[in-house]
């Protein structure tokens, strides 16, 4: 191993990308015969909240999952916080440290308590001592309103509580970006609000967020920008104002009429 390579292990190369924390250029992804992403170009600024909407199968989730390399993109470029997403595992892990993710199915670790769920990654990846990890975990659990459940197991919590733990778990890594992949789609209606409240607060605190959701109220209120996708392409994007009052494309109008007047 040369000295340059040794240095690269700890500090991957970062490009100067100015204000853009996420850059996607002509990103393509196919699953067998199905083309999920057909050339996506998108730039996200620091502290921006971008909500991605679109019919199911339009590629929203795939797009988000490509950003932290849960899916490998086939073509195009992805640069996150100046780090280019390549096949290099060091780059992938460096990006994953900066990007938190919240899943539709929560994906909490069922064999660990809530507190262990939240402290695990900081202790293993950030090498924090237990005391520090637990102190910060408790602050985060306080922030999402479930500090009193810290010593329970995920299976003992409601869906809404589990999703709030999942948010705290992602935040514990102190990420620069948070990805949300339909975070409220698996929840009972009465629990959606408690999760959206946490996300609202997070957006206000200045976190860069990329949110896939069907919650139009949340999109309208919180988003800086809304991106509408269909069949693997970005059809239209703009401010919520523009988007809900004056959509340009027929496909967007159709989708909005279906989702708002069902």
Partner 1 sequence: MTAQANLSSDKKSPPAILEWMKENLFTPWYNAVITVALAALIFVVLRALFRWALYEAKWEVVLVNLRLFAVGPYPEEAFWRIWVALGLVGALAGLSWGAWGGRNWAPSVVAGVLGAIVLVLPASPNVKWPLIGVLAAFILTHVASMGRSRLQRPLVWGWVLSFFVILVLLKGLGGSQVLADVPTSKWGGLLLTVLLALIAIVASFPLGVLLALGRRSELPVVKLFSILYIETVRGVPLVTVLWASAIILPLFFPKGVRVDNLIRAMVGMTLFSAAYLAENVRGGLQGVPRGQYEAAYALGLNYYQAMRHIILPQALRAVIPAIVGQFIGLFKDTTLVAIVGLLELLGIALSVIAQPEFIGLQREVFIFIAAIYWVFTYAMSYSSRRLEARLGVGTR
Q: Binding residues for partner 1, per CB under 8 A?
A: 68, 70, 89, 93, 96-97, 99-101, 103, 105, 107-113, 120-121, 124-125, 153-156, 169-170, 173
Judged by DSSP in three states, 137 sits in: helix
To partner 1, the closest distance from the beta carbon of 94 in angstroms equals: 9
Least distance in angstroms from the C-beta of 235 to partner 1 = 28
* Between 134 and 236, CB nearer to partner 1: 134
Instruction: CB nearer to partner 1: give 63 or 108.
Output: 108
Residue among 170 and 227 whose Cβ is closer to partner 1: 170
Q: Which two tokens stand for residue 45?
A: 């600024």
User: What is the C-alpha separation between 209 and 44, in angstroms, rounded?
Assistant: 9
Measured from the CB atom, the residue of 103 and 243 that comes closer to partner 1 is 103
Find the shortest distance in angstroms from Cβ 41 to partner 1. Answer: 24
Whichever of 121 and 199 has its CB closer to partner 1, that residue is 121
Residue 239: left (phi > 0), alpha (psi -120 to 50), or beta?
Answer: beta
Task: Give me Rg for the CA atoms of the chain.
Answer: 19
Return all residues near 101 (Cβ < 8 A) that are at least 6 apart. 64, 68, 70, 170, 178, 179, 180, 181
- Which CB, 59 or 100, lies closer to partner 1? 100
Contact (Cβ atoms closer than 8 angstroms) between residue 207 and residue 201? no
Considering the complex, what minimum distance in angstroms separates the CB of residue 80 from partner 1?
Answer: 13
Rounded least distance, CB 3 to partner 1, Å: 23
* C-alpha distance from residue 163 to each of 67, 86, 141, 227 (Å): 21, 30, 12, 24
Which H or E run contains 134?
helix 130-143
Smallest separation, CB 172 to partner 1 (Å): 9
DSSP secondary structure of 182-227: STTTTS-HHHHHHHHHHHHHHHHTT-EEEEE-S-HHHHHHH-SEEE
């Amino acid at each position: 191993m040369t000295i340059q390579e040794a240095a690269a292990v700890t500090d991957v190369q970062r490009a100067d990308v100015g204000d853009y924390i996420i850059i996607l250029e002509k990103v393509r992804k196919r699953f067998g015969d199905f083309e999920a992403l057909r050339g996506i170009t998108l730039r996200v600024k620091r502290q921006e909240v971008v909500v991605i909407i679109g019919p199911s199968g339009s590629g929203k989730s795939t797009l988000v999952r490509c950003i932290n390399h849960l899916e490998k993109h086939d073509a195009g470029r992805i640069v996150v916080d100046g780090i280019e997403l390549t096949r290099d595992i060091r780059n992938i892990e460096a990006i994953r440290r900066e990007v938190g993710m919240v899943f539709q199915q929560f994906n909490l670790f069922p064999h660990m308590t809530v507190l262990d769920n939240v402290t695990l990654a900081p202790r293993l990846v950030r090498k924090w001592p237990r005391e520090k990890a637990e102190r910060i975990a408790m602050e985060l659990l306080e922030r999402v309103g479930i500090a009193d459940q810290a010593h329970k197991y995920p299976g003992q919590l409601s869906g809404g509580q589990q999703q709030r733990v999942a948010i705290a778990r992602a935040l514990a890594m102190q990420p620069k970006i948070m990805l949300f992949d339909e975070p409220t789609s698996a929840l009972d209606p009465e629990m959606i609000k408690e999760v959206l409240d946490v996300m609202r607060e997070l957006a206000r605190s200045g976190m860069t967020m990329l949110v896939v959701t069907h919650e139009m109220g949340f999109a309208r209120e919180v988003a800086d920008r809304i991106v509408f996708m269909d069949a693997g392409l970005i059809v239209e994007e703009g401010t919520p104002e523009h988007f809900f009052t004056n959509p340009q494309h027929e496909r967007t109008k159709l989708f909005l009429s279906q989702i708002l007047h069902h």
